[in-house]
Structure 1
Amino acid sequence: MTAVPDLVEVVDRLLAPEGGCVWNRAQTHASLARYAVEESYELVDAIDSGDDGELREELGDVLYQVVLHAGIASAAGRFDLEDVAAGVRDKMVRRHPHVFGDEHADTEDEVVRVWRAAKAAEKAARTSVFDGVPRAMPPLERAVKLLERLEERADAAIVLAAVVGSHGRRGAGERAGSAGAPGGDRPTAPADGAGAAGAPGGDQGPGPADGSGADGGVAAGVDVAWGAGLLAEVAAAREAGIDPIASLRAAVGRLEGEARAGE
């Protein structure tokens, strides 16, 4: 395989002090963060399109972001692409002891159990199950991720109730239940829906992620009660076997389709 080393050489040439690209040399990990997010969203669009050409191109753009970040770090003598690849290689081996070790996992649930156990051992220094959930994730994706983590706690229902109270809970449960398949089975995703997971990442909006203002109060336009009601809807949908992220993306896709048809 020669294309990957060739790509590393291209990036090294772009970052070269002599004869390189002035724009690339001016970039930092922070200045490039937005492009990593944008390219990830474009990758998800390509996956949804089912077009192999688009998928291959967008995978390449995401790979370029990885190589460029590694090139910037390498130029500063911190780490390089080989270190990045070695790190994720070793992590995947550790987290799949049922493949590379003596563990046994014959079902998806057992694999998740083994994965979580291996990850917990790696992240033993963490003090909360919520550590590692990016604050910059879009709110809906972050809500789902936090609810997933919350399910690992015995007091999950108490914690959720303290936030959402009874606000919209009954209506949310009824609506989510009516939308789901009988018996709480996961419904089939609409044809225009996205995959089971939403796009990763997301730009953090102005101000704190919790919607508070600079003085610690609630920022203008933020209705915490409305947000709590929406959080209750998300929790109820998950209980009914509905994927909130894919479902909303499907609805938004239909909205765009209807709007475009009317143009």
Structure 2
Amino acid sequence: MTSVDALVAVVDRLLDPEHGCVWNREQTHASLARYAVEETYELVDAIDGDDTEELREELGDVLYQVVLHAGIAAHQGRFDLDDVADSVREKMQRRHPHVFGDEEAHTVEDVVRVWRAAKAAEKAGRSSVYAGVPRAMPPLERAVKLFERLEERGDLHAAVASVADGSVVEQVGTVDGGADPVAPAVPAVGEAAQQPFGSRVDVAWGAGMLAEVAVVHEQGIDPVASLRAAVALLEAAARQAEQVSAEEVAGS
């Protein structure tokens, strides 16, 4: 039995209707979704920290989420971990025809071109090339992902400009035939004063930030990693100020 097989056995025991864990048995894909996000962020932290031991642990936590979701689906008779592995294996083989097929790719640019062509063939049935960009992604990450799709079609500048001049606002709430859950309504001026501090939505400010992100994206700067690095510096500065304050109190 491999270590992965042993982990699957542990999850099966946790989900056992009679002898398992009552908490695990009550979980659903929806109730566990936030844990998948949290564990992924913790994995990114471990990568940023270049901590081998922490990286191993966080990879294990992410793997556990995958095995648990697959276990829930298996108990419902839908699919199991082998099905998940088979699916992603087949996808990777399809998207690397330069390795598993007759396509040739000798540079990173060639590989990206082949990957995008293979992915486009897989998603040919989609009604829009922008489908599949998760609305649950943080807005900065989602913006960058949409920028990549827009660049492929040569529409980046026009799309950002339409957001900035407000011409696209009328369409918000009608995309995909329904309201966009990540595009909250802008409060009226009279309502703004009644809202908690920092909760008001300002689409114009957001449009300005979007334009700035588009500029640095085209310059080859990773806005997500750059902002994460700056926030890390902010935290370091805050902790330093906290330490200085604590030392001053202790010395008084």
Q: Could you tell me the TM-score, scaled by structure 1's length?
A: 0.80
SS at match of 1:135: coil
Q: How big is the shift at 1:137? A: 0.3
Structure 2: how far apart are the matches of 1:154 and 1:223? 28
Residue 224 (str. 1) matches residue 203 (str. 2): yes
Q: How does 1:14-25 map to 2 (within 5 A)?
A: 14-25=14-25
Larger radius of gyration: 2
Deviations 1:66-101 (A, max 9, x none): 000000000000000000000000000000000000
Q: How does 1:1-263 map to 2 (within 5 A)?
A: 2-165=2-165, 208-212=181-185, 221-263=200-242
Q: 2:71, 2:81 within 8 Å by CA — same for their partners in 1?
A: yes
Q: How big is the shift at 1:157? A: 2.0
Q: How big is the shift at 1:158? A: 1.8
Return structure 1 stretches of 4+ with deviation > 6 angstroms: none
Higher RCO, Cα 8 Å, sep 6+: 1
Structure 2: how far apart are the matches of 1:19 and 1:142? 42
% identical equivalent positions: 72
Q: How big is the shift at 1:212? A: 2.3
Deviations 1:186-242 (A, max 9, x none): xxxxxxxxxxxxxxxxxxxxx92012279xxx9961111000000011001112221
Q: How big is the shift at 1:243? A: 1.1
Deviations 1:3-55 (A, max 9, x none): 00000000000000111000000000000000000000000001111111100
Q: 2:16, 2:25 within 8 Å by CA — same for their partners in 1?
A: yes
Structure 2: how far apart are the matches of 1:247 and 1:254? 11
SS at match of 1:32: helix
Structure 1: how far apart are the matches of 2:116 and 2:97? 11
Structure 1: how far apart are the matches of 2:237 and 2:147? 32
Q: 2:11, 2:67 within 8 Å by CA — same for their partners in 1?
A: yes
Structure 2 equivalent of residue 198 of structure 1: none
Q: 2:95, 2:115 within 8 Å by CA — same for their partners in 1?
A: yes
Structure 2: how far apart are the matches of 1:213 and 1:9? 50
Structure 2: how far apart are the matches of 1:154 and 1:260? 44
Query: Structure 2 regions of 5+ residues with no counterpart?
Result: 167-179, 243-252
Q: 2:186, 2:203 within 8 Å by CA — same for their partners in 1?
A: no
How many pairs does the alignment contain? 220
SS at match of 2:102: coil
Structure 2: how far apart are the matches of 1:213 and 1:255? 29
Counterpart of 2:235 in structure 1: which amino acid?
A: E
Structure 1: how far apart are the matches of 2:186 and 2:220? 35
Q: How big is the shift at 1:156? A: 3.0
Structure 2: how far apart are the matches of 1:256 and 1:127? 43
Deviations 1:125-173 (A, max 9, x none): 112111100000000000111111111113332222111249xxxxxxx
Stretch of structure 1 that moved more, 121-130 or 6-15: 121-130
Structure 2: how far apart are the matches of 1:19 and 1:94? 42
Structure 2: how far apart are the matches of 1:116 and 1:56? 31
Query: Structure 1 regions of 5+ residues with no counterpart?
Result: 167-206
